[in-house]
């Protein structure tokens, strides 16, 4: 086992077999993050809104451990989990709007940066590595959350889910993020906790990091996503970026 792969095991990161070391880019100039389950732990607030809605509609609550893993699929994913997947499109849209109206009132009650993320952002800023956020979350929910946590003005780009006609897994939002950072996509890394994140990043020509600490469904196998790297803990992201930079 060579020194790079050995180092990955030591820092709780894993290099998937489908991506040999020779595929790793030499210099990272920009880092783009997914939001929920990657940069910020938003599950407590989102699951609380879901269970409040279920109570209003005389439905049983969903256990947190189960609902948490659905958060990356947004409001519709949570609604289908709680209310079932037999609802009509009209019923789904009505519940979705109800969910968003409840959530937007207080999007940062319990939400917080994952442990180690603030240190990572400071590291990127110290190294003059530009960073931004590309999320499918609507702007009305994204910006208040980022402002509450004090990171909105620090991000070089914030691409919310309603800025473009396309959403992830389409690469357009990720490419827009790179453009706003003024960094070529082949010098960017996209980091996320869902298959669509990795698909979007790869389609944009970026190295990708899958965060297995995020909101992963029980039947999802992160290895199957074909990310450049897998990181098991938020604090492993700094080491991941250093390795992408060939800093052994």
Arithmetic mean of pLDDT over the chain:
90
Task: Say yes or no to pLDDT of 10 above 70.
Answer: no
DSSP of 174-216, one letter per residue?
HHHHHHHHT--GGGEEEEESSHHHHHHHHHTT-EEEEETTS--
Residue 25 confidence class, pLDDT cut points 50, 70, 90: low
N-term to C-term CA, the chain: 15
Task: Say yes or no to pLDDT of 3 above 60.
Answer: no
How do residues 126-140 score in pLDDT, each as one tens digit?
A: 999 999 999 999 999
Choose, from 23, 34, 119, 224, the residue flagged as catalytic: 34
Task: Locate 6 and state its tokens.
Answer: 């050995």
Average pLDDT over residues 115-122: 98
Task: Say yes or no to pLDDT of 13 above 80.
Answer: no
Residue 26 confidence class, pLDDT cut points 50, 70, 90: low
Task: Say yes or no to pLDDT of 21 above 50.
Answer: no
Predicted pLDDT of residue 106: 85
Task: Say yes or no to pLDDT of 125 above 60.
Answer: yes
Average pLDDT over residues 71-95: 95
* Helix (H) or strand (E) run with residue 134 in it: strand 130-134
Task: Say yes or no to pLDDT of 14 above 50.
Answer: no
| Alpha-carbon distances, residue 102 vs 35, 50, 57, 64, 107 (angstroms) | 19, 9, 14, 18, 9
Task: Say yes or no to pLDDT of 17 above 50.
Answer: no
> Which single residue is written with the structure tokens 């609802």?
87
Choose, from 23, 36, 162, 197, the residue flagged as catalytic: 36
Higher pLDDT residue, 192 or 21?
Answer: 192
Instruction: Clarify whether 34 is annotated catalytic.
Output: yes
Task: Say yes or no to pLDDT of 19 above 90.
Answer: no
Give the whole-angstrom CA distance, residue 173 versus residue 49: 27
Higher pLDDT residue, 191 or 17?
Answer: 191
How do residues 196-220 score in pLDDT, each as one tens digit?
A: 999 999 999 999 999 999 999 888 9
pTM: 0.88
């Amino acid at each position: 086992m060579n020194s790079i792969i050995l180092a990955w095991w030591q820092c709780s990161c894993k290099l998937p077999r489908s991506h040999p070391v020779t595929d790793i880019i030499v210099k990272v100039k920009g880092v783009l993050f997914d939001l929920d389950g990657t940069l910020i732990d938003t599950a407590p607030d989102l699951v609380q809104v879901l269970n409040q809605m279920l109570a209003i509609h005389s439905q049983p609550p969903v256990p947190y451990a189960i609902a948490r893993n659905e958060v990356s699929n947004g409001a519709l994913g949570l609604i289908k989990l709680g209310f079932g997947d037999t609802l009509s499109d009209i019923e789904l849209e009505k519940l979705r709007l109800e969910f968003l109206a409840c959530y937007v009132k207080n999007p940062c009650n319990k939400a917080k940066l994952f442990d180690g993320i603030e240190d990572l952002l400071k590291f990127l800023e110290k190294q003059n590595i530009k960073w931004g956020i590309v999320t499918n979350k609507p702007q009305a929910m994204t910006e208040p959350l980022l402002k509450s946590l004090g990171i909105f003005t620090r991000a070089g780009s914030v691409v919310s889910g309603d800025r473009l006609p396309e959403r992830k897994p389409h690469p357009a939002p990720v490419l827009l993020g790179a453009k706003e950072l003024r960094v070529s996509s082949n010098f960017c890394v996209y980091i996320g906790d869902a298959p669509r994140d990795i698909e979007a990043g790869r389609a944009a020509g970026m190295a990708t990091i899958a965060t297995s600490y995020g909101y992963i469904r029980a039947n999802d196998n992160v290895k199957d996503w074909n990310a450049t790297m897998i990181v098991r803990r938020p604090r492993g992201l700094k080491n991941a970026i250093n390795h992408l930079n060939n800093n052994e």
